[in-house]
Chains A and B, each alone.
Chain A
Amino acid sequence: QSALTQPPSASGSPGQSVTISCTGTSSDIGRFDYVTWYQQHPGKAPKLVLYEVTKRPSGVPDRFSGSKSGNTASLTVSGLQAEDEADYYCSSYAGGNSFHVAFGGGTKLTVL
């Protein structure tokens, strides 16, 4: 099972919107609506920000939104704030012959 593909970096100024892509295949993102996004600050554990493509856990601001088209999922952070600067990882269920969860390589989001 291959990892998902994310751009290594993204950036935006405070108040702007930034979109991070996550590209998989027809065996994972393209087949299942089980795309998840995590935020990770340096030295900290990942934090769930979106699941099942568009759902936000309690406590996550609605500035975080998700979408999916074909084999590519996207995370959009609107109204960028300094505390949004972090690494973001996507993941997807990649079932088929066997259960598997694939992660992307991560995107470093910089707030300029």
Chain B
Amino acid sequence: QVQLQESGPGLVKPSETLSLTCTVSGGYINSYYWAWIRQPPGKGLEWIGYISFSGSTNYNPSLRSRLTISLDTSKNQFSLRLTSVTAADTAVYYCARSGVGGIMFDYWGRGTLVTVSS
């Protein structure tokens, strides 16, 4: 059974960089696509982007200029880096496995709340 676990700071200051890591267990990261999705408190889901097993990426156009998703196959992890954050980036951040080319997400982490505040 594939399991995903997000980790990283729960509080980030405005204008700084949000960095999260997702550790995958029960499966190898060098197959499938791996995604980040976020959910502001009390609101709906927003697709952030994905990285494939080969390292190719696709990002939400609204975040592309601030976003980097990377892969570390030696640690079975993938990471998210979002620069110049504002309060609008406050959300629960989920990592997920994509079973169909980055389009649908069949395994999810439990999510981690990141608050942007000074």
Which A residues are within 8 Å of any B CB, using their own CB? 1, 3, 34, 36, 38, 44-48, 51-52, 57, 89, 91, 93, 98-106
Q: Is the CB of B104 within 8 A of A34?
A: yes
The B70-118 residues at the A interface (CB cut-off 8 A) are: 94, 99-100, 102-106, 108-111
B2 CB, min distance to chain A CBs, angstroms? 12
Known A91-B45, A100-B60, A101-B47; judge A45-B111 contact (CB<8 A). Answer: yes
Residue of B nearest to A44 (CB): B110
B interface: dominant SS: loop
B100 and A45 form a contact (CB under 8 A): no
* Chain B residues within 8 Å of A, Cβ to Cβ: 37, 44-47, 58, 60-61, 94, 99-100, 102-106, 108-111
Chain B CB within 10 A, most for which of A44, A101, A104: A101
Give bound CA distance, A3 to B62, whole Å: 13
